[in-house]
Structure 1
């Protein structure tokens, strides 16, 4: 009689242990990233600068202008993309679903590049307003992708996993072509900026970008987490879920909108960083099982660790050149994706 009550407690303890471990690993990477680079700093110098104890101008410049904004933005982007990937895999019942594979990345990126094209050199508004407007354009692009997914990937009100992937790949290719066409129409300076941005770069991170991303994560993450039970039920057959009294259409739309918001906020400041939303849910399920109440926050932490670590690798291993974080993650993600496809084919 005691076993059913002990299992959830055991799982909860495991979750908190994993959450603490991932937090410590992330903090360790942040520490290494803060102290290492072209201008090395000691732990004492970092803490004295952060705590404003006898601040030194050079240390302030290195930490607050170059390293810390980049680390914080990378952590936020990884957190958002990891959670978005978990949501998409949950509502589609497809473990290969991912914001990049489903075309949401490409659509949001296309609309952000469109925004950059029409406002470059003409927008007289303050810089902070431009930065805050980019997530909204990305959100519109993400919505366009979701509407097209709903139109072409559903039959009789149900998503078909294979059709969802095929439609998503087609959308990603189409929006990618649109993005390339728009970027080629830009002047050389803006074209170079757009190209670096599209590779998934946070090299030029600043505090304005962090402020534009943070509200989306603060508002949308709790909405998703509170629907963890709904995501668990969505793994059942559609008829069974409706029989349990779940308004699947309404819940799926809410979760999709939240997912689009997270992806758009991340894409607008970093470009297309793929595979985080694909890999993080797979690792989380291996660590904690299939309970989305635990999967969602773990996916956020795993995504955070992935992006911060990939950014550190990109700026140090290939120094003095800096490899965009999106390319570093793709180097890891492509073989992993091929392995997943091979396993799915074997099954």
Structure 2
């Protein structure tokens, strides 16, 4: 399986994240994907190549234009305003405020476009986000050309970013753009299977009213885990998308037996729906030692999960999302890909 990966991911490395009331080194850090890349090489998983340049056409066609302009210019505006540190949202609109008026001053603009203040931006964030998208797009093009599967080793991740907001370490929704590219390339029905521990709120937001993309997410129950305010089982889609949004929230301490039941149900629904192509938001933070999650999967469980996904027999693009038990991220990611290839 070919992997697409850009060294430009290193340009995004904010020095602090707000967690537990203090500033810590971000859990989403460059070493995460280095462990994955090293494991891919160790296991002989195929070529690791740089992506082609990003194509902004599909991105602009799916995401909000004002939001994209904000991401492109935020750092320059922040510094021009005399801000000394990195970009962190300090003011966000809430109930009773005007949600439809965008501030002109950068401090207010940041809050308008952000839904989670743990996510900081720095000088190289936009370039890194574009390189992450480029990897996802190159993987999609390879699969569209006839390959069974490809892996986009994306960083920063993407599934928490909506049409017009960033957060959860995500700025551009790679999986959503890949799904749209599959549709544009002729796939009548595309499924996005999100196995990251955290609900893919951004992907749900983008496709919630569409009937041509089915979104299925296995995640920690929102009563107990980020993003908290979305991801309930009764969120089934709206309008043309009614029935095309499948959430599988699970309780703290969930082990593989229960998690695999949810995976099998999602797979059965995707198959019955008649998907022509599959995008997998590949997060491995369901692992039992992940520092910001509460599922209890073992490393070997990811191999079995990959086998189950592979048995669908669909053209598949894997897009890297979360996973923060740093030294195990590579093992768990590659285990899933090996399970898929062995199916």
- Name the TM-score, length of structure 1 as normaliser: 0.25
Q: Normalized per residue, which structure has more strand?
A: 2
Higher relative contact order (CA 8 A, sep 6+): 1
User: Higher Cα Rg: structure 1 or 2?
Assistant: 1
Q: TM-score scaled by structure 2?
A: 0.25
